[in-house]
Amino acid sequence: MTANEKAPTGQCRLDVWLWAARFYKTRNLAALNIKKGLVSISGKTTTKPASILNIGSHLVVDLNSVRITILVEKIAIKRVSYEKAQLLYRIISKESEEAEIFFQARARYKRDKKVRRNLKAFKEKLHFLSDN
């Protein structure tokens, strides 16, 4: 990384780093989500986009109902390419996988024949009652 891409002190603003690491398309979006409380640093929810971020900090970011836990490995103050941005952090955990498994299992559920018959009879009764 060049001098422009790396902060000399090893610190940077939270919104700038999230933008530089390509979690958000604009700094404004990053700042809005921080203000909403969707980002926390080392277990503390912060509402200030200007919060200081250090190397080794743990971030929890909620992106589109996916909770990602991240370890900050490098600091960047300038937006970099996707390949370089992936070197700025390490993903510790992603909590969407459990949700996906749950929803896939729920989508595969099919009622047995008896339940389907009862449901069909109940719907026909309701339809019969609504006609009169």
Q: Which residues of the chain have pLDDT under 70?
A: 1-9, 97-100, 102-103, 105-108, 127-132
Which segments within 1-132 are labelled E, that is strand?
A: 11-13, 39-41, 44-45, 52-54, 58-63, 66-72, 89-94
pLDDT attached to residue 1: 43
pLDDT attached to residue 3: 43
